[in-house]
Structure 1
Amino acid sequence: MQTIQGLQAGQYKNATKIKISSNLTSFPQEILSLYDTLEILDLSNNPLLSSLPSEIHRLHKLKVAFFSDCNFTTFPKELAKCRSLEMIAFKNNGMTTIPEGAFPRKLRWLILTNNRIEHIPKSIGHCHRLQKCMLAGNRLTTLPEEMAHCRKLGLLRLSVNSISVMPEWLFQLPELSFLSFSGNPCAPQVDSDAVLEEVSWRDLQVHELLGEGASGIISKGTWTKSGIPKEVAIKLFKGAVTSDGSPTDEMAACILAGQHPHLISPLGKIYSHPEDKRGLVLELIPPHYANLGLPPTLDSCTRDAFPASTVFSLEKCKKIITGIASVSSHLHSKGIVHGDLYAHNILINDNGHALLGDFGAASVYGTDHAYAESIEKMEVLAFGHLVEDLLGLVERKVTAGEDVWDEKEGGEVEMLNALHYLCVNPVVQQRPTFGEILKALGA
């Protein structure tokens, strides 16, 4: 973390990144002197900061600007003139207004989570490079039709708003793969209290921390049932709206999903927590399972990254793909869209057995939803990206300096390539369902 004193003393000359959180009440003018080098500016967690100077466009190399947990009630139109700006965050600002023409044309990644925004400006339709748009936890009742021009949009978070009808054009966007819309009037209420055993907090012992995400904390624990102890995972939800949606909706979707060989299955719903926190008891995943991929980077935006050393056999690749197709088919048969079908949300073991987790962006839409088939085929595109990524990691046999496949493997690769091609069809309605994908995989 840098300091305002260091900035004023000229200690950060030629800096490419500035991050200052020290109760700023105004934008430090000294930042403008970094116009030839500054690429990332993070002034988050300055609760009194509420405006930007008109000269901010002088930062002609600025690509990333973070102003989360500040006090911008109006989106600063000054950012529209920042010619290199690609990523903007104004999470938790109490923002109510976005003027027309406020977004820079090169915008790829927009984070406006947990504000009080009622309208998105029509001018968002000019953001033709927009790929990732986080709007959860606002007061939106609709989206502007002009947003249909954002043809590169791949991830959209709409959870916890007031949208009563999903716009038809949304399911015609050729690259939309990851969508959340729970906590809106257009998503049915889920009553899943009766379908999962209730577990008293008194019957649980919490041990070491296993991990922490935006929605909650997961710990290893022991559940003593009828005098018999069982090792489990215990997830306690934080309660605040995340960039994906509401922890309450996440828990409801997780419970409704139920049991499946490729799910991290819930065992019970926690009650009588001393701080009245919501929580779930989950199957404890053996330690030899590991994440399949890494989260997207700024450059990849909506696509996962993988360690350079990652290599799979063709057999293991197909086993992972088939497992995820199976669990995806299961979810959509219950009217659930996962919303985050990424490799980094999948755990695998050495044999290629896959487990899909993290329901933070999941939405229950119901099988009788008007756009049920479109919602499923939208998520098929995310699956198609996964197929492509995994095929790129398959170990190839090299003979005489050339990649070769034997006849059987060659047929399998050809089949998987053809499946990928079908899944990424830019015409949403022409993609297969997950049931059809399973048949193609011979499952």
Structure 2
Amino acid sequence: MHDLETLNAGGYASATHLKLTCPLPTGLPPAILSLGNTLTRLDLSGTGLSSLPPNFGASLPNLRILFLSNNNFTTFPSVLSTCPSLEMVAFRSNGMTSIPEGSLPPRLRWLILTDNQIETLPEDLGKCERLEKCMLSGNRLSSLPETMSQCKNLALLRLSANRFSTIPSWLFSLPKLAFLSFAGNPCVEAQTSAATAKAGNRFDLEKIEWKKLEVQETLGEGASGVISKGLWKQSEEYAEEVAIKVFKGAGVMSDGTPADELAAVLAAGFHEGLITVLGKVVGHPDEVVEGSEDEKKTKFQGGIVMQLIPEYYSALGLPPSFDTCSRDCFPEDASLSASEALGMLTGIAGAAAHLHQRGIAHGDLYAHNILGSKADRHALLGDFGAATIYGTDAEVYAGMEKLEVLAFANLLEDVLGLIRKDMEKKPETAVVVASDAAAPPTMRDSSELTKEEEEAVVQGLEKLHKQCADPLVDSRPSFEDIEVELEDLVGFRGMMRIPIPNLN
């Protein structure tokens, strides 16, 4: 973080990044425009700005990333179209109502307009050929310009909490769209209500009184709420260690609303590849039944009690960076053995199949939302913040599953990189598979693989990746088909163990 006094005194003359948080009542400080030779990232969020000077683009030719969230821009500044290098623009929570034609930067790759009052988008958005990530949740949109069908590089689109009565069919043919959410729109109100009612009537979904919960240390905190370790006191003699998530805020997050996330989590039900929800919190002291909008935005919005995940589970990846945009990052030393990867991938494919059978798209199927245990070769898919309950009518949103299959293709590609790293670290001598004298010759234990088997697994995953990443969306396999393919590679289907097939 930087300060205005030092900026005005010329103290940041060669800065590449600049962030100010102080109020700027007189507009953009002229000293910022003198940093044009070096400045690539500028963050002026929360400073009260409402306009930019006409020489902004010409003065900052190297600017790539611009954050202007929580300000007072009611109109998208047209001067940004003159920024030759600008790739990422964020105007979250500005009260913005309009985006004039011709105002978008020519190299736009990442656009954040979450939580505004925008009713229409400019037709020339379709000219943004590099657009990869577009965040539009929490606006007043009821349609998208058909020119957006030309955004062939679009990978992530957030449309939650808008006014769509239908979702454009051409979205389901975009070759790179893998992450789509549109919860909280009229087109899915009925599906969400039905799924919520069904989840609420589940006989095995406990209603857990807040007074029976003891909240301990915080495990994690996101935009939608806080997850804490705790105890569920089921009787005077017995208490179970659990994780407690308390949803807060009625506002719109980047992916959607806390209410829609809660609905999707409860509708998801039980699966070994999902974090188990033990019950729904009732009787919280901050629960708001009546009150002002400000009270509702800050008070308790629901809560769930979940199984506590052992500490030896860890995130499979890291969130995308500014450079990777829609793709995850991974630590330099990260790796997975072929058998570890297969176990995890099979479980996640099964979890995704389970969700889509219930008409739920996860919307954020990333490695960083997966907790994995190498020792157990097991993985859990979490974070339903971008989930959409789209329903089970085969004629409605039939392409949702195939879009998410592309997200799984991205995961496959990343995991293949981790397997190759693991294989490079191993000595040339192949690992011998332990034999079981009682087992017939065709039975195999896939917990350890020879070098040749690992290479066969890599070939199989490469083949599956190609199928899942097919640019023709309808040609991609279903998650149920993917699960079967992975089980074949693991060496079993159900209780029937089979040899790894010859994939040459």
Mapped contact 2:192–2:263 kept (Cα < 8 A) = no
Partner of 2:372: 348
**How far off its partner does 1:6 sit?**
1.3
Partner of 1:323: 347
Partner of 2:245: 235
Aligned CA-pair RMSD? 1.5
In the superposition, relative to structure 1, how do residues 22 and 441 fare at CA in structure 2: closer, same or farther (>3 Å)?
A: same
Partner of 2:230: 221
Cα distance in 2 between the residues matched to 1:267 and 1:406? 42
Partner amino acid for 1:80?
Answer: S
Partner of 1:244: 255
**How far off its partner does 1:406 sit?**
3.6
Partner amino acid for 2:285?
Answer: P
Q: Which runs of 5+ in 1 are unaligned?
A: none
Partner of 2:49: 49
Provide the secondary structure at the position in 1 that maps to 2:319: coil
Length-normalised TM-score, structure 1: 0.97
Partner of 1:430: 475
Q: Percent identity?
A: 52
Partner of 1:14: 14
Mapped contact 2:192–2:390 kept (Cα < 8 A) = no
Cα distance in 2 between the residues matched to 1:30 and 1:435? 58
* Number of residue pairs the alignment of both structures matches: 440
Mapped contact 1:114–1:138 kept (Cα < 8 A) = yes
Which has the higher Rg, Structure 1 or Structure 2? 2
Q: Which runs of 5+ in 2 are unaligned?
A: 288-299, 430-448, 488-492, 494-504
Q: Which residue of 365, 368, 383 maps to 2:408?
A: 383
**How far off its partner does 1:407 sit?**
3.3
Cα distance in 2 between the residues matched to 1:203 and 1:132? 43
Mapped contact 2:80–2:104 kept (Cα < 8 A) = yes
The answer to whether structure 1 residue 199 and structure 2 residue 208 are counterparts is yes
Provide the secondary structure at the position in 2 that maps to 1:62: coil
Mapped contact 2:125–2:148 kept (Cα < 8 A) = yes
Cα distance in 2 between the residues matched to 1:104 and 1:52? 14
**How far off its partner does 1:372 sit?**
3.9
The answer to whether structure 1 residue 396 and structure 2 residue 397 are counterparts is no
Kindly report which structure 2 residues correspond to 1:80-229, keeping only aligned pairs within 5 A, or say none: 80-187=81-188, 188-190=191-193, 191=196, 192-195=199-202, 196-227=205-236, 228-229=238-239
**How far off its partner does 1:410 sit?**
2.6
Provide the secondary structure at the position in 2 that maps to 1:234: strand
Mapped contact 1:244–1:360 kept (Cα < 8 A) = yes
**How far off its partner does 1:369 sit?**
5.2
Mapped contact 1:304–1:342 kept (Cα < 8 A) = yes
Cα distance in 2 between the residues matched to 1:161 and 1:393? 39
**How far off its partner does 1:226 sit?**
3.6
Cα distance in 2 between the residues matched to 1:146 and 1:229? 57
Cα distance in 1 between the residues matched to 2:134 and 2:349? 26
Per-residue deviation, residues 285-324 of structure 1 (Å, max 9, x unmatched):
1111111000001111100011010111111111111111
Length-normalised TM-score, structure 2: 0.85
**How far off its partner does 1:438 sit?**
1.3
The answer to whether structure 1 residue 410 and structure 2 residue 463 are counterparts is no
Partner of 1:280: 304
Per-residue deviation, residues 35-86 of structure 1 (Å, max 9, x unmatched):
101000000011x310000111120000000000000011111101100000
Partner amino acid for 2:257?
Answer: S
Mapped contact 2:231–2:242 kept (Cα < 8 A) = yes
Mapped contact 1:335–1:372 kept (Cα < 8 A) = no
Mapped contact 2:19–2:44 kept (Cα < 8 A) = yes
Per-residue deviation, residues 361-413 of structure 1 (Å, max 9, x unmatched):
00000110534431000000000110111011112257789xx9743333222
Identify the range of structure 1 (220-229 vs 10-19) with the bigger mean alpha-carbon deviation: 220-229
Provide the secondary structure at the position in 1 that maps to 2:398: helix
Cα distance in 2 between the residues matched to 1:85 and 1:250? 32
The answer to whether structure 1 residue 261 and structure 2 residue 272 are counterparts is yes
Provide the secondary structure at the position in 2 that maps to 1:11: coil
Provide the secondary structure at the position in 1 that maps to 2:55: helix
